[in-house]
Amino acid sequence: MEDDKLMYVHPGPVRVWHWVNAVGFIILIITGIQIRFAEMVDWFALEEAIQLHNYVGFVVIAAYGLWVSYYFGTMKIKLYFPNPRTFVPNAIKQLKYYGAGIFRGEPNPHQMTPDNKFNALQKNAYVGIMFVFLPAQMITGLFLWRVKRFENYIDLIGGIKIVSSIHVLLFFFFVAFLFVHIYLATLGHTPWAHFKAMFTGYEEHHGHGASEESAF
């Protein structure tokens, strides 16, 4: 254990954003299920579910604002962008690791450092999620919140049903993502290591190359 050391990889604003976003997502998913499937579930009155969904939606948007401000303010946003020259080979290495190496006990080809905390696959996934999927979910949610106010934009997209369909498909995607995300978070050197790090900010670095999957 001599080569174990602590690395500060999750700064305060990122941790605040992460957990606000996580709790927000859970509430949005639960209320979203109630709103879409009112005939099947009876957790809340629809009226309450919609109100709660709207309030929490704005909290998640505000948290995203914090994330954007922090990452662009400090220019750490480059953490998210893959290097075009090394991206493909690194992604293949990472895929091989998840598909085979991890079962043979091989070390994770990606070593987390504060300046390079995401592996190639994470970079790819998170760029898509943070710059396309999440903004699309927030914008469509905003339009659905006040259909009449945003009707010109809604018409531009093709109508309220198109907007709603985008919102719903992304909702299903995020639910699926959540399962995978939480599972990958258990792949640290102990199952709780990454969860703990997302509270404390410090990841333990292990010389043997423990996997580091889930950190944002």
Partner 1 sequence: MKSKICLAVGVFIALISSFLDPAVAFAIDNDECMECHSDDTLARNESEGMKEDLFLDYNKFKYSVHNVNGITCVDCHADIEELNWDNEVPHPTSLAMVNCDGCHEEEGEAYLNSVHKKAGGKGITIPCYACHGYHFVTHLEADSVFERENKFCLKCHNPDNFHEWLPQKDTHFAFVECAVCHAPESPRYISLRFFDLVSKQFLKAKDLLAALDADYDTFMDKLDQDKDGVISLPELEDMIFLLRQKDIRGTFHGELVMELVPTVHHINRGGANRECEQCHNPQSPFFEEVYITLNKDDGTGQRQKVERRVLESYYVNHFYAIGGTRVRYLDKIGLVLIAGGISVVIGHLLVRVATIPARRKRKEKKDEFSI
Residue 7 CB, shortest distance to partner 1, in Å, is 25
Continuous segment of H or E residues that includes residue 204: strand 202-205
- Contact set for partner 1, span 123-182 (CB under 8 A): 144-149, 155, 158-162, 164-165, 168-169, 171-173, 175-180
Query: Considering the rule CB under 8 A, would residue 1 count as an interface residue with partner 1?
Result: no
| Residue whose CB is less far from partner 1, 12 or 105 | 105
Residue 198 CB, shortest distance to partner 1, in Å, is 19
The backbone torsions φ and ψ at residue 5, rounded to the nearest 5 degrees and listed phi first, read -145, 160
Query: Considering the rule CB under 8 A, would residue 116 count as an interface residue with partner 1?
Result: no
Please provide the distance, in angstroms rounded to a whole number, between the alpha carbons at the two ends of the chain: 26
In Å, what is the CA distance from 84 to each residue of 36, 40, 91, 123, 132?
Answer: 41, 47, 11, 11, 19
- Contact set for partner 1, span 70-109 (CB under 8 A): 98, 102-105
Q: How many CB atoms lie within 10 A of CB 67?
A: 21
| Residue whose CB is less far from partner 1, 6 or 147 | 147
Tokens of 51: 């109100």
Q: Are 189 and 204 in contact (CB under 8 A)?
A: yes
| Residue whose CB is less far from partner 1, 38 or 136 | 38
List interacting residues with partner 1 (CB under 8 A): 35-39, 45-47, 50-51, 54, 98, 102-105, 144-149, 155, 158-162, 164-165, 168-169, 171-173, 175-180, 183
